[in-house]
Structure 1
C-alpha cells in the first residue's frame, strides 16, 4: 500500500508538466438570459462523493479521511437512486430531455435547452447554476526522466527499486486516463486475456482482474474493488480488454450536440489520434517497450508506474487535420461524464491532460467535479501550460 501511494504521488508530479494546450482562449461570459444551446445544469443536493447524510433515511456516503468512495455499496446505490429521482422530477417539470446525467462527482445533467428552459432552470430552487457547455482540446506532456525513477534499461535504483522494482511499481493501482482513447494493441498496454468467472464477494488483494462477461473486476491494493462495464463500439470489442487495460469507455453526447463530425475518429474507446495512448503509456505503460517511428529506433520507453492497471475514458475526438488541435473537440459535458464514471468505477488516480485557455472562475462544473473527485479520494493529475493568467489546464494536486 505504501508503495502504491508513493507511485501515485510520483505520478501526479510527473504529469504536471508544461504542454501546448489550446491555441484559442475560452472565455466565460455571463450567459445572456434565454439563450438556447447545450448546457450543464448543476443541482443543489450533494453528489455521492460529498453527501454527509442530511436526507432522512439515507446514510452518508462521503468517505472518511484516507478512505475511498464505495460506489457499489447499498447506501451509495440508494443515494444515487435518490438523486436520479430528483433529476427526473426537475426535468419533467421543465420539459427537458437530458443526454447525460451525473451523480458521483457532480449532481446534475447536460441537455439542449431552449431559452425558456434556461430561464426556468436558473430560477429553480433546486439548481445551483446553468452553465453553457464549453470546448477543450488535448494537452501535451513531457518526459519524466528528471524524476529519478531508476535505470531505464534494468529498472534498478531510484523510486522503482524503493517500491519493489518495476514488477511492483504501481501494483494494485488503477490509473484512469481521460483523453482521446487508447490503442489496445500497443505493446505498452500488452497484457493477458482476462479470465471469466463469477464476481467474488470476498476480495482478494493482488489478484488478477477477471470478468463475468459484462464487467471487469479488479481487487486493488487499498482493499477496494474496481468495477467497469465492458463496452463495445467501432473497431472495439470485449477482446480489447486485458490484464493491463482493464477499462475502456467513451462519451460523446456533448460533442454530438455541438455538431462535431465523427468521421475522422472512432465512436468507441479506440484512440484515433495517439494522444490518449501517449498519456496512458507515460503514466502506466509497461516497462522497457521498444519504440520506433518510421523504422527509426528510439530505444525503449517505460511508464511511471509500469505495474499499474489502466482504464481509458475517451471524451476527446479528432478532426481532419492531425497537425493541429483546433479542429479537435473535448466537450466539457463529456469530460465531466468521464470524470464521473472514472470515480464511479473506482480508479485510484485520474490523469487529465486537457487544455482550454484562460479561466475566469474556479466554480465551473469541471472545477466542482474535480473538487468532489478529491473528496472521493481520487487524486487528479492535470497538465499545465505557460500563461500569464490562470489556465483551465493548470496542475491540480488535490490529494496524495
Structure 2
C-alpha cells in the first residue's frame, strides 16, 4: 500500500477546510425578522425569538446571535448567515427578513416657509403633547430646549433618560446602537454631535428664541411648530448614518414610552422603490 507523503496530507486537509462551511462572526450579518403583531393572548417573550433563531441555525446558539427583541410588535434582530436568513424566511408567521442597512438623515423647511404665523393662540393641551424625535440626538445646552416655565412631565409619560440629564422640556432621552460598533467621533449618549437631530427637534417643538442669527446676519426669532410641547429623544443616527435595526428600536421605544407624535427625517439613499414589508419606515410607522 502506497503511503501518502506529508505534502499530500496537507493538500487534502486544505481542501477539506476550503469545502467546510465557516460560520465565524464575520460571516454573519444583522437581519431584522418582522412578524407583525403578537397573537391575541400572547405577551412579549424573548424565549419565542430565541427558539426561532435556534431552529434557523445549524450550530450552537452564541450569546450575541439574538441581538434584540422588539416589544411593541413581534420581531427581533439576529446575526445570521445568508443561508440562515433564507431558512428564517420559510418559517411560519415570519412576514419578512430585512437586511440591516445604513440610511441617511433628511430634513424639511421651516414653519415660516410653510406659512404658519408665529403669534397664534396656544392651549394648555400643547404642554401635554410629547414629540418623539428619532434622529442623531439633541444638544441640551441650546436655548431651544431650556425648561424655563415648564411644569413636570405629563403623568402619562413612561419614558426615561439614559446617560443624559433631562429637564421638563427634554423629558426622555435614549440611544440605540444594536451592533455595538461606534466611530471615534461618536458620543455614546443621546447627545447630538452632528446637529441634524437638534435641528429637527427644534423645528418640531423648539422654544421661541429671540435674536437668533448667523454671525449677526438674518436676525429673528427661532421657534418650533409647537414651542410648549415636550421632547423625547431617540438617537438612532451616528457618524456613519442610521441603521435599520436601530431605527426600528427607536420606533419601538417611543411607542412603549407613550409619545403622541413621532418625528423622523431619515430616508433611503438613492433607493426608488422598496417592498412594503421590507420598508423599515412603513413597519415602524
TM-score of the two chains, using structure 1 as the length reference? 0.58
Alignment of 1:37 onto 2:1: no
In structure 2, what is the equivalent of residue 277 of structure 1? 198
Select which of 121, 143, 166 maps to 2:110. Answer: 143
In structure 1, what is the equivalent of residue 70 of structure 2? 102
Count of aligned residue pairs for this structure pair: 252
C-alpha separation between the residues in 2 aligned to 1:193 and 1:80? 39
Secondary structure in 2 aligned to 1:359? coil
Deviations 1:125-165 (A, max 9, x none): 24222221111011022111154533x3xx2xxxx31x44x
Alignment of 1:130 onto 2:97: yes
Select which of 306, 313, 329 maps to 2:241. Answer: 329
RMSD: 2.6
Alignment CA distance shift 1:183-1:336 (3 Å) = same
TM-score of the two chains, using structure 2 as the length reference? 0.79
- Contact preservation (8 Å) 1:39, 1:110: yes
Instruction: Give, in angstroms, the shift of residue 188 of structure 1.
Output: 0.3
In structure 2, what is the equivalent of residue 176 of structure 1? 132
- Contact preservation (8 Å) 1:193, 1:242: no
Alignment of 1:287 onto 2:191: no
Alignment CA distance shift 1:132-1:303 (3 Å) = same
- 4+ long deviations beyond 4 Å: none
Select which of 257, 262, 266 maps to 1:354. Answer: 266
Alignment CA distance shift 1:126-1:268 (3 Å) = same
Select which of 126, 140, 162 maps to 1:231. Answer: 162
Instruction: Give, in angstroms, the shift of residue 92 of structure 1.
Output: 3.4
C-alpha separation between the residues in 2 aligned to 1:279 and 1:87? 35
In structure 2, what is the equivalent of residue 80 of structure 1? 44
Instruction: Give, in angstroms, the shift of residue 192 of structure 1.
Output: 5.2
Select which of 138, 144, 147 maps to 1:188. Answer: 144
- Structure showing greater radius of gyration is 2
C-alpha separation between the residues in 2 aligned to 1:92 and 1:109? 13
Instruction: Give, in angstroms, the shift of residue 111 of structure 1.
Output: 2.1
C-alpha separation between the residues in 2 aligned to 1:253 and 1:350? 21
- Contact preservation (8 Å) 1:255, 1:334: no
- Contact preservation (8 Å) 1:255, 1:330: no
- Contact preservation (8 Å) 1:169, 1:305: no
In structure 2, what is the equivalent of residue 29 of structure 1? none
Secondary structure in 1 aligned to 2:283? helix
